[in-house]
Amino acid sequence: MTNVLYQHGTLGTLMAGLLKGTASINELLQHGDLGIATLTGSNGEVIFLDGKAYHANEHKEFVELKGDELTPYATVTKFVADTSYETKDKSSEAVLQKLRKRC
C-alpha cells in the first residue's frame, strides 16, 4: 500500500515569519482528510480529522472551519487504516501490550 503525504509550505517559511496564507482549507481537503496546519497569522493550530478542519486557538477553543480560510503551511493525507484494534473497556496498558506484540 502506498501512502502519500501532501505538504503545502515549509517549516522554514514559517520560521522566517512568512505567515500569510497561500492555500485554502478546502484546497487542502482535496488532498487529504487527516493532518495539521496553521492559519494566516499563526494563532493556534488546524486539525484535519475525518474530512473536516478544526481550528484550536490559544484560548483552548475549537471551531470547525468553513473552508475559505487560508493557510501558509499544512500537511495532510488520505487516511486508510490497515490495522484496527478494539479498545473499548480495555486499559491503556492492555492496548499498549497489544500494539507491542504487533511490532
pLDDT tens digits, residue range 46-97?
999 999 999 998 898 999 999 999 999 999 999 988 888 788 888 989 888 8
Nearest-angstrom CA–CA distance, 2 and 100? 23
Scored b (16 or more CB within 10 A) or e, 36-49 reads ebbbeeeebebbbe
- In this prediction the pTM is 0.80
Among all chains, which residue has been given the C-alpha cell 500500500? Answer: 1
3-state class of 74 per DSSP?
strand
Give CA torsion, residues 27, 71, 32, 68, to 10 deg. -40
1 pLDDT tier (thresholds 50, 70, 90): low
Q: Kindly report the CATH number assigned to the domain that includes residue 49.
A: 3.30.1330.80
User: Based on the structure, what is the number of domains in the chain?
Assistant: 1
Q: Which domain holds residue 46?
A: 5-102
